[in-house]
Amino acid sequence: MQIVYHVGAHGSDQAKLIRTLLRNRAELVRHGTEVPAPNRYLGLFGEAMNSLNGGEAPPEMQEVLLDMLVDNEDAKRLVLSQSMFLGTPRRAISRKRLYPYSPRRLRGLSNLFPDSVVEFHLGVVHPATQIFQLVARNKGDYPGTMNGADPRQLRWAPAVRAMLEAVPDREFVIWAQEDLPFTWPEVLRRLAGVGPEVPLIGEDAILADLLPPETLRDLRANMDATPDLTIRGRRNLVEQALAAGGATAAMESEVPLPGWTQDLIDELSEIYADDLAELAAISGVEFISA
């Protein structure tokens, strides 16, 4: 069995991705992929990890967990998604790094299925956007969210390296939230474990949030009218549609945080660009880039 943990991160389109996969549940079952609704296993993994106290699940426990999660006896891939897999919003940031408790949590998740192939999928987010989302989830408590950290020091590459060290024999698939208008179909299919020949509903779900209906219709028509459309060709059409639909500004959301200036956000953007380049170069990471 292949076990896929979609672990976040906070501020990404995690919920939209899993909802889109759920819309395709019947088609995915035919290809051996099981996508249970997240509320079906809410709290299950925390209890299971606590009972193991850092150890690996015995075969009997693995079988019980799979019986609780899998309905199709022919399933070969199980996709699981919870916003708490990396930790709570209150503990996402420390002076040390992003998600300081994630190595232990990912090791615990990995240990639930030691006999399976396990993948961790992670959408990383611009620090300004993520901090804003975390503050919102923490009821507006900015100091309690930041825990004394300097936002300039919050980088993804060190956090991911710590995760890799915790579970060195597992696969990591990473993408940038900001690239999703261009990479959504690839991210969706990589999660599901299916190729481009499998028809999926919602391949333009994220574009539907960014484009006016008429622009989206034109984009679909242009794609349908282009034979043998490549990934690069599709992304070029998407870029043209985003510009024509005035969506570029919509993708640049304001971040009203106390004491923040545009200069700080610009500085964070430069840091984030370097961070993404470093992430893509990490051995053991499959990076889906635009």
Looking at residue 35, which CATH number applies to its domain?
3.40.50
- The model carries a pTM of 0.95
Q: Is 161 part of any domain?
A: yes
Say if residue 271 is in the same domain as residue 254.
Answer: no
Say if residue 141 is in the same domain as residue 113.
Answer: yes
Say if residue 93 is in the same domain as residue 233.
Answer: no
Residue 208 near residue 138, CB atoms below 8 Å: no
Strands (E), the chain: 2-8, 33-34, 77-81, 117-124, 171-176, 285-288
Say if residue 62 is in the same domain as residue 17.
Answer: yes
Number of domains in the chain: 2
Structure tokens at 237: 């059409």
The pLDDT value given to residue 207 = 95
pLDDT band at 133 (very low <50, low <70, confident <90, very high): very high
Say if residue 254 is in the same domain as residue 271.
Answer: no
Give the span between the Cα atoms of 131 and 76, in whole angstroms. Answer: 37
8: domain range? 2-200+267-288
The pLDDT value given to residue 137 = 94
pLDDT band at 249 (very low <50, low <70, confident <90, very high): low
Give the span between the Cα atoms of 270 and 263, in whole angstroms. Answer: 11
Q: Is 90 part of any domain?
A: yes
Which residue is associated with the tokens 């615990």?
A: 108
HSE, side-chain direction, 13 A CA sphere, residue 197: 1
Write the pLDDT tens digit of every residue in 189-219: 999 999 999 999 999 999 999 999 999 999 9
Say if residue 117 is in the same domain as residue 227.
Answer: no
pLDDT value at 258 more than 80: yes
